[in-house]
Structure 1
Amino acid sequence: MEKFDKLSGIAAPLPIINVDTDMIIPKQFLKTIKRSGLGVNLFDEMRYDDEGREIPDFVLNKPQYRDAQILIAGDNFGCGSSREHAPWAIKDFGIRCIIAPSFADIFHSNCFKNGILPIALPSAQVDLLMREAEKGANARIEVDLEAQTVTTPDGTVLPFEVDAFKKHCLLEGLDDIGLTLARSEAIDAFEARAAQERPWV
């Protein structure tokens, strides 16, 4: 998993509450078990019309937000079913950080497992970032995971809280498999000892 330390990028404003996982990645795209290739279908029903043409007014179709790495969203982001395809699609599009007043618990956890930093901030601060994001490429927002800060284009620093273990995993680029492999020596030693003590197993 890609490490997350500092990020300075364009933020896309999505002022919608209760964005559920079916809005993030509709059910017809859940057949794949690959983590790549889903970015093109992120927010599919909002991005494209019935003929598959881009809807110009949708934020991620606007030229200034096509390379957005940060998403500023409304309350209760990621609610609905627990599909892990949702963070896969977000990450594949290129978004590494989502800032909202609150997140659905399972989606929040899945973000960390897929190299995405979800940041919960008070509504007033999210509104401030939303207004900054509306400036497009003229306003870059900085996120520093180590320092646990979000910095606006004018230098306003907004601190955020994050679970210490999840922070460590993001900083080191450790998903569940990476955490297991980090203990490979201990696992090998256990298996060797077990083979000697219980050769019949």
Structure 2
Amino acid sequence: MIVTQENENIVWHPHAIARADREKQHGHQGVVLWFTGLSGSGKSTVAGALEQALHAHGVSTYLLDGDNVRHGLCRDLGFTENDRRENIRRVGEVAKLMVDAGLVVLTAFISPHRAERQMVRDMLAAGQFIEVFVDTPLEICEVRDPKGLYKKARSGELKNFTGIDSVYESPQAADIHLNGEQLVTNLIEQLLDVLRHRVIINS
């Protein structure tokens, strides 16, 4: 029995079915593919297309999207620095549980700070966190502007918007570095090649 530091009355209960058992049933290991990049970089589009490709390969997946989690899990959070950090922490904890369930978890979050992405990496065992940087120039993201957020930020309607008046810290050594100006189909092939190499999916 492991006693947590926060409260000695809360204990971690080990279960008879372990992650290895679940992974064996799924036929692949559980990992987190953490997509990061500016708004409009294409991370949600790429993550969604990759999930479809993995599903076609028989891989058990779940996609955690930034907007979707704010409809439920993180609906009480705003966009202050502290709230955004808590948003990422919660998503990291959910992703960790899903990895324990043996799933390949795809997340699409701006997650602008290196420290927060490292925080999630540190929650997981070595090799379970794969940082995917969708590297798209700001000017391209602004042209795309799928939600009209850059226009609002430039006009002053939207404050603390990443890339405009709030910093985005690019990964210094992402596990996978994608050129966000390429066709999505090309990016998916690159990702699948990496996952085959890591023996997460079969060829």
Give the TM-score taking structure 2 as reference length. Answer: 0.31
Q: Which has the larger radius of gyration?
A: 1
Give the TM-score taking structure 1 as reference length. Answer: 0.32
